Structure 1
C-alpha cells in the first residue's frame, strides 16, 4: 500500500479475523449492552444477533444469503496489527460471538473447530523470526481491564464482571450471546456449528485501510457525517482528535475519559449535556436540536476554538461536566449543598432540567450569588409550571437569561434578577393566583403536589420557629413520613358526610387544595375518614403550624409579639368544615403562595 493510498476490501468475518486488531486507548469504549440504572436498554447485541439469524434462517441446503453488517476503518501499525479507528462495537460483538460459540461447543463436550480457535487467537511470526501468540482483538483503553482477554481465554465464568462500565457492558454482551445460543439454537451442537459457518462465511463487512491515523479519522468523520451510526458526542471526540497532534493524544484521551465519567456519574444523556453546555456557553439559538449539534460545530469554530486548540476546548467541556454533576447532586461547583437546587428537583422531578442551562452559565458566581440565582430559578419555575407555560416559551426564556448571565458578576446579580426573572413571574401573577384558587389534588402530578403543600407548610414553620437542620430541608416535609391528608375524606364516613353537608363525596370538592394539609403519617393513620369535629384535636397534635392552626390558630399562640404568635395570627382557623370553608382556605393559600414564591405585582 503506497503512502497516499486508501484501500477498501469487501470481506467475510472469516477473512476479517485472519488479521489482528487493537482498539486504541483514545477510542470510544464498548457501549453495546449498556443498561441504565433501571435496567433498561442494552438491546443492540440482541438485535445484532437476531438480524444475522433472520438471514441465516433463510438458508437452504445448497445456498445462503449474505448479510452486510457495516464498515470499519483501520490503520496498519508497525507491528502489522491494525488500529481499529471506527467499527469497534460491531467488531467486538462479532469477536465475543465467536468466543461464546467456542465456549458453548466446549460445554456440550464437542470438538471445537481449529478454524474457530484461530479466529480468536493465533500465533504470528515477527520480523525477527520469533513466534508471538496474539488475540485477534485487543482493547487498549484502561476501563476494559482484562475482561476480553479472560473471555478469549475461555475464562468468562471466572472473570470479574462488576468493575467499570466497559467491563459490565462486555460481560453483558457475552452473556447475551450465550443466552441466544441457548434459547434460539437450543444448545444444539450441530445448529451452533452451522450458525458459526454462516457467521464467518456469509456475514460481510467492508474494511477501509488508510496509511495514517489522521486519514482514518477523516474517513471516520465522513462515514458518520450527520450522526449516522454515531451521535454528535462521538463525532465531536473524533473531530478533536483530528485537530490534535499525535503527541497530545494521551492528554486529550485523559480529558475525554474524565468527561465521560462525569456525565455517567451524573446519569445524564451525553447529548443533552452537550446541548445544554453549548446553549450556556456560546451564542446558540435555542432551536438547536441534538441532531444538529455536529453541524453546528462545523460552522462555529470561531466561537468554540475547538480546531485551533482542541485541548483547551475539551478542558472547558470537562469543567462544565464537573459542574453539571454537582448540580445533579444539589451542589454548587465547590460541592456546597444548595437548598433551592434540591427544592427544584422536588418540583421538577427527574426530567425537567432546562434550568441547568442557566446554572451552567452562572457557574462562575460566588457561593452566595449562586444560591440567590438558584432561589430565583426555583421561584420562577414553580410559577411557570403551575400556570402551564409551554416548553418552547420556557426554554426560550431560559436561553435568553443564560446568555446574559454568563457575563454578570456577583455584584450585578441582584439587579439582573430583579429585571429579568422577577418580571417573568410578575407577568403571570394573575394566572398563578387564579390557578391556585382552583387547583386540586388531581390537577398535579403527585410529586409536584407534595412539593406545593410541603413548601407552604415549611414556609410557615420557618417564619414561626426559625431555621433548623430539619426545617431547612424541604425533603423532610415531602418525605415518606408525612401524608397529604384530605380534611374531608375522599370516602367520608356517614357521620362525616352528614356533618359536612352538601358536596360530601364530590371529588371536585374534596380534592381542592384548600381541603389538603400535610400531616405526620403516624397521626394520619389514627383519624381515617371521620368527621372534622373528631379530627380537629388530632390536627392540633401536628408539629406543622399550618396544619395545627386549621382548627384553632389561637391555641398555637404563646404571647403577643413572638414569632410563633405572629405567624399563627395570620393563619385562618375553622370551627366547622364545609365547602365554603374549603374555598376560603384555598384563597388564603393562593395569596400566601404569591409571598412564598415572590411573585411581584408589577413587571
Structure 2
C-alpha cells in the first residue's frame, strides 16, 4: 500500500476475523451493552442479532441473502494489527457473538468448528520469524479491565460484571447475546451451527484501510458528520484527536476520559452538558440543538481554539464538566454544599437542568456571590414553574442572563440581580399571586408540592429560631420522615365531616393549598382522619412552628420583642376549621409565599 492509498474491501465476518484488531486507548469505550435504564445499549445488541436472524430465516437450501452491518475504518500498525478507528461497536458485538456461540456450543457438547476457534484467537508470525498468539480483537482503553480477553478465553462465568462502565457494558452485551441464543435456538445444536454458518459467511462489512491514523480519523469524521450512529460528543472527541499532536494523545485521552466520567458518574447526559457549556460560554441563543452542535464546532474553530489547541480546549471543558457534576449533586463549583442548588434540585426534579447554564457562567464569582446567585436561581425557577412559564421561554431568559453574567464582577453583581431576577419576579407577581391563591394539590407533581410546603415551613422556623444545621437543609423538611397533612382528610371520618360542615367531601376544598400543612409522620399517624378539634392537639406537638401555630399562636409567645415572638405575631391561626377558614389560610399562605420567594404582593389582581 502506498503512502496515499486508501483500500476499501467488501468482506464477510469470516474474512474480517482473519486479521487482528485493537481499539486504541483514546477511543470511546464500548456502549452497546449499556445497562443503565436510560441507555439503549441492550436494545442495540438485541436489534443487531434480531436483524441478522431475520435475514437468516429467509435462507433456503440453495440460497441465503447477505446482510450488511456497516463500515469500519482501520489503520495498519507495525505489528500486523489494525487500529480500529470507527466501527468498534459493531466489531466488538460481532466478536462477542462469536465467543457466545462458542460457549453455547461447548455446553451442548461435540466438537467446535475449526473456523470458529481461529476467528477468536490465532497465532501470527512477523517477518523476523517471531510467532505471537493473540486474540483477534483487543481493547486498550483503561476501564475495560481486560474483561474482553476473559470472554475470548471462554471464562464468561467467572468474569466480573461490576466495575467500570466498559466492564458493565461488555458483560451486559455478552449476557444479552447468550440470552438471545438460548431463547432462539434452545438446545438445538444443529440450528445454532447453521446460524453460526450464516453469521460468518453471509454477514458482511466494508473495511476501509488507511495509511495513517490522521487519515483514518478524517474518514471517520466524513462517515459520521451527520450523526449516523454517533453523537456530537463522540465526533468532537474525534475532532480533537484529529488536530492533536501525537505526543498529546495520551494526555488528551486522560482529560477526555476524566470529563466524560464526571458526567456519567452523576447520571447526566454528556450532550446536554456540552450544549449548556456552549450556551453559557459563547454568545449563542437557545435555538442551538444538540444535533447541530458538531456543525457549530466545525464552523467556529476560532472561538473555541479546538483545532489550534485541542488539549487546552479539552482541559477547559474538563473543568466545566467537574463543576457541572458538582451542580448535579447540589454543590458549588468547588464541591461544597450549596443550599440554593440543592433546593432547586428538590424543586425541579431530575429533568430540569437549564439553570446549570447560569451556574456554569457564574462559577468565576467569589463564594458568597455564587451562593447569592444560587439562591436567586432557586427563587426565580419556582416563580417560573408556579406561573406556568414555558420551558423554552425561561431557557431563553437563562441563556441571556448567562451571557451577561460572564462579565459580572463584585461591583456590579447587585445590579445584575436587580435587572435579571428581581425585575422578572416583579413582572410575574400578579400571575404568581393568582396561581398560589387558586392552587390545588393535584396541580403540582408530588415532589414539587412537598418542596412548596416544606419551604414555607422552613422559612417560618428560620425567621423564629435562626440558622442551624437541621433548619438550614430543606431536605430535612422534605424527607420521608414528614408528611403532607390534609387538615380535612380526604377520607375524613363521620365526626370530622360533621364538624367541618358543608363541602366536607368536596375535593376542591380538600386539595386546596390552604388545607395542607407539613407534619412529622409519627404525629400524622396518631391523629389519623379524625375531627379538627382533636387533630390540633397533635399539631401542637410538632417541631415545626407553622404547624404548632395552626390553631393557637398564644401558646408559642415567649417574650415581648424577641425574634420568636415577632415571628409568631406575624402568623395567623384557626381555632376552627370550615370552608371559610380553608380559603383564609390559602390567602395567608399565598402572602407568606410572596415573602419566601421575594415576590411583590399584588393582591388587587385577584378577584374578590
TM-score of Structure 1 vs Structure 2, range by shorter chain: over 0.9
2:34 equivalent in structure 1: 34
Equivalent-residue separation in structure 1 for 2:411 and 2:255 (angstroms):
33
2:357 equivalent in structure 1: 357
Q: Would you say the 8 A contact 1:484–1:519 is kept in 2?
A: yes
| 1:601 Cα deviation from its structure 2 partner | 6.4
Q: Would you say the 8 A contact 1:497–1:504 is kept in 2?
A: yes
Structure 2 residue matching 1:162: 3-state secondary structure:
coil
Q: What's the TM-score once normalised by structure 2's chain length?
A: 0.97
Equivalent-residue separation in structure 2 for 1:472 and 1:37 (angstroms):
34
Equivalent-residue separation in structure 1 for 2:197 and 2:391 (angstroms):
53
Equivalent-residue separation in structure 2 for 1:410 and 1:332 (angstroms):
18
| Distance verdict in 2 for CA 1:242–1:40, change over 3 Å | closer
Equivalent-residue separation in structure 1 for 2:490 and 2:157 (angstroms):
56
RMSD (Å), alpha carbons: 1.2
Equivalent-residue separation in structure 1 for 2:106 and 2:169 (angstroms):
24
Structure 2 residue matching 1:525: 3-state secondary structure:
helix
1:302 equivalent in structure 2: 302
Structure 1 residue matching 2:5: 3-state secondary structure:
coil
Runs of at least 5 residues in structure 2 that lack an aligned partner in the other structure: 603-608
1:297-317 Cα offsets, whole Å, 9 max, x none, are 111111111111101110000
| 1:553 Cα deviation from its structure 2 partner | 0.8
2:178 equivalent in structure 1: 178
2:132 equivalent in structure 1: 132
Alignment of 1:312-327 (within 5 A): 312-327=312-327
1:265 equivalent in structure 2: 265
| 1:39 Cα deviation from its structure 2 partner | 8.4
Equivalent-residue separation in structure 2 for 1:171 and 1:74 (angstroms):
25
Structure 2 residue matching 1:43: 3-state secondary structure:
helix
1:280 equivalent in structure 2: 280
| 1:41 Cα deviation from its structure 2 partner | 5.3
1:447 equivalent in structure 2: 447
2:605 equivalent in structure 1: none
Aligned residues: 602
Q: What's the TM-score once normalised by structure 1's chain length?
A: 0.98
1:449-484 Cα offsets, whole Å, 9 max, x none, are 000000000000111111111111111111111111
Higher mean alpha-carbon deviation, 35-44 vs 87-96, is at: 35-44
Alignment of 1:9-158 (within 5 A): 9-36=9-36, 42-158=42-158
| Distance verdict in 2 for CA 1:31–1:210, change over 3 Å | same
| 1:42 Cα deviation from its structure 2 partner | 2.4
Structure 2 residue matching 1:257: 3-state secondary structure:
helix
1:494 equivalent in structure 2: 494
2:293 equivalent in structure 1: 293
Q: Would you say the 8 A contact 2:31–2:41 is kept in 1?
A: no
Q: Would you say the 8 A contact 1:550–1:573 is kept in 2?
A: yes
1:196-235 Cα offsets, whole Å, 9 max, x none, are 1000100010000111111100000000012111100010
Equivalent-residue separation in structure 1 for 2:449 and 2:590 (angstroms):
14
Runs of at least 5 residues in structure 1 that lack an aligned partner in the other structure: none
1:548-581 Cα offsets, whole Å, 9 max, x none, are 1111111111111111111111111112110111
Runs of 4+ residues over 2 Å off in structure 1? 37-42
2:371 equivalent in structure 1: 371
Structure 2 residue matching 1:572: 3-state secondary structure:
coil
Structure 2 residue matching 1:9: 3-state secondary structure:
strand
Higher mean alpha-carbon deviation, 553-562 vs 411-420, is at: 411-420
| 1:40 Cα deviation from its structure 2 partner | 7.1
1:141-196 Cα offsets, whole Å, 9 max, x none, are 11111101111111111222212110111111111111111111113211111111
| 1:600 Cα deviation from its structure 2 partner | 3.7
1:222-275 Cα offsets, whole Å, 9 max, x none, are 000121111000100011111111121111111111111111112111111110
Equivalent-residue separation in structure 1 for 2:491 and 2:138 (angstroms):
66
Equivalent-residue separation in structure 2 for 1:259 and 1:559 (angstroms):
56
